[in-house]
Amino acid sequence: MSKLDAILEQVDTNMSASVDKLVHFLTFPSVSSQPEGKEGILACSDWLKSELGKLGFDVQVVETAGHPLVMARTGSDSGGVKALFYGHYDVQPAEPLDAWITPPFQPAIRDEDGLKRIYARGASDSKSQVWSVLEAFRAWKETAGDLPIDAIILLEGEEETGSPSLPEFVEIHRDALSCDVAFISDSDMWSPARPAITTHLKGLLHEKVTIHAPNGDLHSGHFGNVAVNPVRVLARILASIHDDRGRVTINGFYDGVEPVSPALRDQWQALDITEALSGVSVAGGPDEGGGYGPIELMWGRPGIDFNGLVGGNTGPGERSVLPGSASARLSFRLVGRQRPEDVRAKFRSFVEAGLPVGCRVEFEGCGGSSAVSVNDAGPYVAATARALDCEWAQPTLIKGTGGTIPLIELLTNSLNVDCIVTGFILADDAIHAPNERYDVERLRKGIRSWVRILSELANFKRGSNE
């Protein structure tokens, strides 16, 4: 039996323990966007420090102005390639809680359609992705001793809030993060059977906008039809952001948007979108009227989405009131040379221009990263594709995504590091939604995939791209 086969066999032998550890990982309510998530964030980062220490890594929890990062590195010098592995341990809020079949931080394993699925917040995005890498390291070390590479592990606690502390962290720790290649384990497959490497990612910014009326809450019978209603004002402004085909009407919003090349458009149009959607319906969605296919809209066109609306009576029972304020949260997905602060300023001007006399607006911004394209060729991409091809017995697809990972822009622009973005999330995993899930077989094959990637990296010399 070859060394690689022995390590892969160890992965299979360890699966029960691997699942148990992942289930424990999922019990931490590490919600980065809510103040009450701080305790879960700290407990989770401490647990990761302990687990990485047990694997023989030198580990530190690095405090930031926000949530801590966990950074680890191999204790000995292998003389091999130096590779950084990034993931995040923070998760999205779990609300609405009553939409979950089982509590989001009490993981449940259910047999469904011939698969064992783990249900919990973070099951797919992205604790399973982190855990796949760490379990690959475990199997390798238990079977072969030392890793064949020098590994740097970086686990972030603010990815779901736009990584606000990351730029300063990267600047301060430039030397410690220096590497030959970086692997970002926070992406999706093309389909349940076909792996993928992602090379085009959108940028992202968030905005919260609150419209305040001149008065507080008012009796709707006494003042209806004459007093300003902030809910109506906000609804009108939001409705005017898009035309009937879904194009954004904000002046200058499309500045910096670059057309997709004919060759790339042909590649995308040749793909069967139904494979990637895994049963998720996009029927009736906007098309912008520009002849764009669904893949180009998802990967190559910018957009604005409304993530939440709050105003007036949202509780049980009737309350006849003109609310004193109304709020909305929006996310902006950017492409090409669009810049977050430029788009933010144009959006705010658009809202201010739509305010009636007497109303005032309050803005709260969060995050801001530009779109990024990474190297889709080169030896590390080829090596990763070989590893994935072998494990999944399907040709790896080089693709885009509508998602955003701020670290990639920092690594490519600040440290000039090639990034390989891959992972095993599926469209129907319900990430960011109630009843998020991940199947145990995909966890197994994900761990085995990372073992094969490590085996490929063993063939590289440090500082070499050959």
Which residues, in sequence order, are CB contacts of 125 under 8 Å at separation 6+?
91, 92, 186, 425, 429, 431, 432, 436
* Rounded to 5°, angle at Cα 406 from 152 and 36: 90
Share above pLDDT 70 across residues of the chain, in percent, rounded to a whole number? 99
Burial (CB count within 10 angstroms: exposed 0-12, middle 13-18, buried 19+), residue 179:
buried
- Quote the tokens at residue 460: 């590289």
Q: What is the pLDDT of residues 186-201, one digit of tens each?
A: 999 999 999 999 999 9
Q: What is the pLDDT of residues 31-85, one digit of tens each?
A: 999 999 999 999 999 999 999 999 999 999 999 999 999 999 997 777 889 999 9
Report cis status (omega within 30 of 0) of the bond before 96. yes
Alpha carbon dihedral 270, 275, 276, 279, in 10-degree steps, equals 140
Q: What is the pLDDT of residues 245-279, one digit of tens each?
A: 999 999 999 999 999 999 999 999 999 888 888 77
Q: Which CATH number fits domain 203-257+302-369: 3.30.70.360, 2.30.42.10, 1.20.1560.10, 3.40.50.2000?
A: 3.30.70.360
| pTM (two decimals) | 0.93
320 close to 220: Cβ distance less than 8 angstroms: yes
For residues 229-249, one letter each, b for 16 or more C-beta atoms within 10 angstroms of the residue's C-beta and e for the rest, the string is: bbbebbbebbeebbeeebbbe
- Quote the tokens at residue 406: 């701020």
For the chain, domain boundaries:
3-201+371-457, 203-257+302-369
Q: Which fold has domain 3-201+371-457?
A: Aminopeptidase (3.40.630)
Q: What is the pLDDT of residues 112-131, one digit of tens each?
A: 999 999 999 999 999 999 99
Residue 465 pLDDT: 63
User: For residue 120, which of 436, 402, 410, 382 has the smallest C-alpha distance?
Assistant: 436
Residue 299 pLDDT grade (very low, low, confident, very high; cuts 50, 70, 90): very high
Q: Does 168 have pLDDT greater than 90?
A: yes
What does residue 406 show for φ and ψ, rounded to 5 degrees? -55, -30
User: For residue 377, which of 454, 271, 465 has the smallest C-alpha distance?
Assistant: 465
Q: How far apart are CA 268 and CA 200, in angstroms?
A: 12
What does residue 428 show for φ and ψ, rounded to 5 degrees? -100, 20
**CA 233 remoteness from chain centre:** 32
Q: Among 219-233, 343-357, 435-449, which is the least confidently predicted range?
A: 219-233
Q: Does 381 have pLDDT greater than 90?
A: yes
Q: How far apart are CA 203 and CA 368, in angstroms?
A: 7
